[in-house]
Amino acid sequence: MLFKYRIVNVYLLLVFAVVVKCQNTVNRPCRVKSTGANGVCKVDRSCPKAQQDAESGIAPTICEILVSSIYVVCCEGATVSNVQASENSFLNGENNENNDRIVYESGEDSNLSLSERKCMEYNKDTVQRVEVIPLLSDPKPSGVLITKCKFDSVPLVVGGKPALPGEFPFMAVLGYTTTDSNVQWNCGGTLISDFYVMTAAHCVITKFGRPVLVRLGELDLSKDDDNSLPEDFGVSNVIPHPDYHPLSKNNDIALIRLSRQVKFTNFIRPACLWNTFNVRQNSAIATGWGATENGGSTVDVLQKVSLDLLEMSICDRTYGNLKYYKNGLPKTMLCAGKLKGGEDTCQGDSGGPLTVTKEDNQCIFYTVGITSFGRMCALENTPAIYTRVSEFIPWIEKTIWQ
């Protein structure tokens, strides 16, 4: 991962200052500070008395701050109620057996693609649904989604920097057998199910041969972890896209089936797949163990960098002189980088993910791109090319879930 080595003065004005604890908060007994009366902790929109006090200028007693300006307040006169939660809810202190469905966005499950349903299934422990009664004349319970993962890393502002343990639990690194029978880590990948890792096709059709080992839960390749991480998996099958073109790098995507099922943890969990052509976010996060300078050596510690998602016309100008792209880059590709230069993916980052999150849940990462190719790393006005994941959803779904 390439970035400029320079000191940057960044003034942080409380960009993200909410740490979600929430252990057994809702329905917990409490005391209202302004009156001394007994109460029960409730989501604010379920407590008419607290809203009335707030309108009168009386500050509510806060039991907990959740997310998106949702508060749990001490509600005077309230009683303990049955709170609906997911099987992984922190509200009941232990798993329940109801397997309540978690809805991430409006709409019925029948309207979701197979990969979207799998996204919900794999990430059910990162959110929980709390039923609240809105203050309406005809109240009906509605759901509030609360993120549960520990998201307390500093947002990416400039340049690249080392990742934190568990920050990118979907990250994979691919190992290849060397002439002296050792393992060399040459490409990245993305865990997308309990059996499959997604990578670039040029990472499985290489001069090194095909990968023989996939490592998950890795942070620092130079040392072992004390908590039984990382985990190594053998490779049972390698599936490059049938229309992959090695010279033009078109359809540069492949799937790797692991030799055994992955057990999800806080350090190992799949990323979701971005399903639509357009990406609403303006930037994305690239991760990998690639070189930190053009032509340099790869690094041991996983790096992260924020890159701008750019119009394809910009990359058309950069790569249009190549014979394969005289009519423009295909829609299966994505253009990303920093036009000012200085930040980029580089050698060794191939096959790794380009990901985004949504405002309502920064615990779930969506893979929008796969690191494919570029010119010299981090040159000014020279962004890189990524495989556009949304264009391959039918092939991925058919290959790994049907």
Strands 333-337 and 384-388, sheet pairing: antiparallel
Strands 183-191 and 231-240, sheet pairing: unpaired
Asked if 385 contacts 334 with a C-beta cutoff of 8 angstroms, the reply is yes
In 217-253, beta strands by DSSP E: 231-240
* Per-residue three-class SS string for 12-32: CCCCCCCCCCCCCCCCCEEEC
Secondary structure (3-state) at 339: coil
Q: What is the distance between the alpha carbons of residues 127 and 124, in angstroms, rounded to a whole number?
A: 6
Residues involved in catalysis: 202, 252, 350
User: Is the sign of the CA dihedral 207, 212, 216, 221 positive or negative?
Assistant: negative
Please provide residue 309's backbone torsions phi and psi, each rounded to the nearest 5 degrees.
-85, 120
Largest CA distance in the chain: 77
Q: 């010119």: which residue's tokens?
A: 375
243: Cβ contacts below 8 Å, ≥ 6 apart: 250, 251
335: Cβ contacts below 8 Å, ≥ 6 apart: 309, 310, 311, 312, 314, 315, 329, 383, 384, 385, 386
Q: What is the distance between the alpha carbons of residues 93 and 82, in angstroms, rounded to a whole number?
A: 14
Asked if 286 contacts 353 with a C-beta cutoff of 8 angstroms, the reply is yes
Q: What is the distance between the alpha carbons of residues 100 and 39, in angstroms, rounded to a whole number?
A: 28
Q: What is the distance between the alpha carbons of residues 251 and 350, in angstroms, rounded to a whole number?
A: 14
Q: Which two tokens stand for residue 49?
A: 């008395």
The DSSP output letter for 160 is E
List, in sequence order, every residue forming a beta bridge with 107; answer none if it has no partner: none
Terminal C-alpha separation, the chain: 36
